Structure formats: C-alpha cells, structure tokens
Amino acid sequence: MYTFGSQLSSARGKFLAGAAITGILLLTGCAETTETPHAASNPFVHVHGLAAESGSTEIFVATHTGIYSVAENGDVLGPIGGNGFDAMGFAISDEAWFASGHPGPETPGELGSPHLGIVRSDDQGQTWAPVTFTGIEDFHILEVNPSGALFGIGSSSPAVRVSVDGGNTWDNRAEVFAADIAVTAERVYAATEQGVLVSADEARTFETLEGAPLLYTLAAQPDGSLLGIDTDSTIWSLNAGSTWNVIGSAQGVVRGLTTTADGAVLLADDRGIVRVDASGSTIVWSVK
C-alpha cells in the first residue's frame, strides 16, 4: 500500500522533524512571540492546515483535535461544534466545508473509522456528514479551486484525485509524490522533491515548472498567482508573468499556508498564526 508519509519530499521532512521539537503553542492573543513550552492539552501542537472564508476575518485552523477559529482580535474558539476529530485535510468552498483525517474519541461512528474519508459540513463545522471513502481513506492534501472542484491526494495512492460533484465521485489523475498541491482556476501545482510541477489540464499531466525554488508548501492567491515556502523558510510569490519574488520570511516550521480574498497571506509557523496583508503589515497571534 502507498503510504503518504513515506513519500514526503526531503524538504518537508526536514521541517516536519523540527515540528516534533518546536510545535505551535496555544494562541491567546496578538502579542510578541514567546518561548513558553506548550501544555500537553494544547490543541495547536499539531496544526495541519489553515483556511479562510470569503468575506470573513476569521482564520480556521485544522488540528489534531478538531477545527478551531481565530478571530481578528486573537480570540480562539473550538473545536467548532465540539467535533474533536483529527482534521488532516481541510478545504472551504463557497458552498461547504470539507475535511478528512481520523476520528476522535467521541466522533460519531457514521463518519468512519479508522479513516474519515471525505466528510462535509453545510453549517460551518457545527455538524458533519460522511460523503465518500468512509472508513477507508485519509486525505492529507485537500484543496478546492475557484469553481468548487475538489483536488486531493489520499493515503492509498499518489494519484491526484478530482471531484466536481462535492466529493461524491472522484477521478484519478496523474501520480505525483507531492508534499503539497495548490489549485487555481487554470493550473494545478505540486511541490515535490524534484521541484515544483505544474498542470494545465486539471492534473491529468504535469511538467516541471522551470526556475522554481524548492518549495515544500503551496497556496493559490486570489489573482491566480502562486505562493510557496522554500527549505530556508523564504516566502515566494509567482506572478502571472512567471516572475518569482521574495515577499517575506517564515520562522521555523510552517504547518499551514493560505491566502484571503483580499490578498493577505496566512501561515502557521513557530511564532503562531501569522497574517501578512498586501501592504506588508504583519500581525502575529502568538502564545503566553
């Protein structure tokens, strides 16, 4: 059986090893970074991803113990709906929330075990329902494009899977041993140990994106450009003219990367949850 973890790029493996030591600590407000060790009950020790809804200032954090919200003032709520499952994959479309991963101690049996497959929420995470692959698949990578199509890589195959009907049916596309993918209206990007790959036919075929830095996590920007972080924690942006620009630096291990509708960059690194807006202004929700 294909095991996703065994095929992660060496770049991401380097950072995941560091994650076992550093961890993201509990976010309590907008403050300077501290070095306070995390408590055993801290839900942000294992962050798997970030997402934001169009028109909302909240940040949604997918973790080992559920999905949490972080308000603009730094207030943390969750797990949303009391749903304490391990949200390994998480994506928000205009119509619904989608997740994958593993059940928690009190997760309803109908959501699946030992894998959730694809689950869906139509009430912003308050309740969830099984969609497909229930009990048999775990998607560590799950993304949605502007038209609402879902793209993911499951635990049993390196193939990029695509669903255009809300996750009910999936088509296996090209196999890429990717640490992460990002999808725009016209392109699918994959971060691999051989470099960044790009597809112009909805993941049916891929080719090398020439001149790209070695990136291990990716995100699509609202204007269709690409965002990524390299093995030195440098944040890169690829604009429509195929020019790579350095737009900032992360600190240590990055466990989640996304963008907002207004072009702000959101990431989770050793400082906590970081927001960098289009003007370069930075807010860090860190720990005390």
* Residue-level pLDDT at 55: 78
Backbone angles phi, psi at 80, to 5 degrees: -60, 130
Backbone angles phi, psi at 18, to 5 degrees: -65, -30
- The CA–CA distances, whole Å, from 287 to 16, 30, 69 equal 21, 9, 15
Gap between the Cα atoms of 241 and 276, Å rounded: 23
Model confidence pLDDT, tens digit, residues 82-99: 999 999 999 999 999 999
pLDDT tops 80 at residue 47:
yes
Gap between the Cα atoms of 226 and 96, Å rounded: 24
As assigned by CATH, the class of the 4-184+250-286 domain is mainly beta
Name the residue ranges covered by the structural domains of the chain.
4-184+250-286
Gap between the Cα atoms of 203 and 190, Å rounded: 9
Task: Give the model's confidence band at 241: pLDDT under 50 very low, under 70 low, under 90 confident, else very high.
Answer: low
Alpha carbon 281 to its chain's center: 23
pLDDT tops 80 at residue 125:
yes
Backbone angles phi, psi at 117, to 5 degrees: 65, -135
* Residue-level pLDDT at 281: 83
Q: What is the mean pLDDT of residues 152-167?
A: 96
Cβ neighbours for 257, distance < 8 A, ≥ 6 positions apart:
50, 217, 218, 219, 227, 228, 229, 265, 266, 267, 268
Q: What is the mean pLDDT of residues 113-118?
A: 97
Q: Across all residues in the chain, what is the average pLDDT?
A: 84
Model confidence pLDDT, tens digit, residues 170-205: 999 999 999 999 999 999 999 999 999 999 999 999
